[in-house]
Amino acid sequence: MIIHIDLDGVIADFDKARNAHPLSKQSPYKGRPDKLPGIYKDLEPIPGSIEAVKKLLDDQRFEVFILSSAPWDNPDAWTHKRLWVEKYFGKAMRNKLILTKRKDLVIGDYLIDDLPWNGAKEFKGTWIHFGSDAFPDWEAILQKLENP
């Protein structure tokens, strides 16, 4: 089974970084946190996310990719996301990073994403809505994937 996992808000804590960024309430960044300089560089992992993704990576039933959207107006974000994935998952995983604005065009069985935007809601496989009542955390997601 092919599993795509969103980065921001699912593995990496974008909200925490946004709230802590000194420019987050200033123009032109207010309401556009994806444009904040360096916002993606040192995101903290969401609790349990690194261990859960590594568990999926070690499971022979799954082929795992990171499927993320990167802002066009913040090209440093593309580099920072790639470096973040390598930092936490190693060099092999950097080749499994897919950056796109159209997640619905990517082929897979599951998409784990916290938001319906950028085609997540229209994904042709099963969208697992991270942070929802049904899937509030990584424990619930692992339970779903291990016992489909």
pLDDT in tens, 34-89: 999 999 999 999 999 999 999 999 999 999 999 999 999 999 999 999 999 999 99
End-to-end CA distance of the chain: 11
User: How confident is the model over 17-43, as pLDDT tens digits?
Assistant: 999 999 999 999 999 999 999 999 999
21 contacts 33 by C-beta, under 8 angstroms:
yes
Residue 118, sorted as left (phi over 0), alpha (psi -120 to 50) or beta, turns out to be: left
Active-site residue (options: 8, 13, 113, 114) = 8
Residue of 6, 13, 113, 114 with catalytic role: 6
Is 53 in contact with 11 (CB distance < 8 Å)? yes
The pTM score is 0.96
CATH of the domain at 106: 3.40.50.1000
Active-site residue 6, yes or no?
A: yes
From its phi and psi, is residue 70 left (phi > 0), alpha (psi between -120 and 50) or beta? beta
Indicate the number of domains in the chain: 1
Domain that holds residue 118: 2-146
- Taken in order 61, 63, 66, 72, the sign of the CA dihedral is negative
Q: In angstroms, what CA-CA distances link 137 with 9, 59, 104, 129, 142?
A: 11, 19, 23, 10, 9
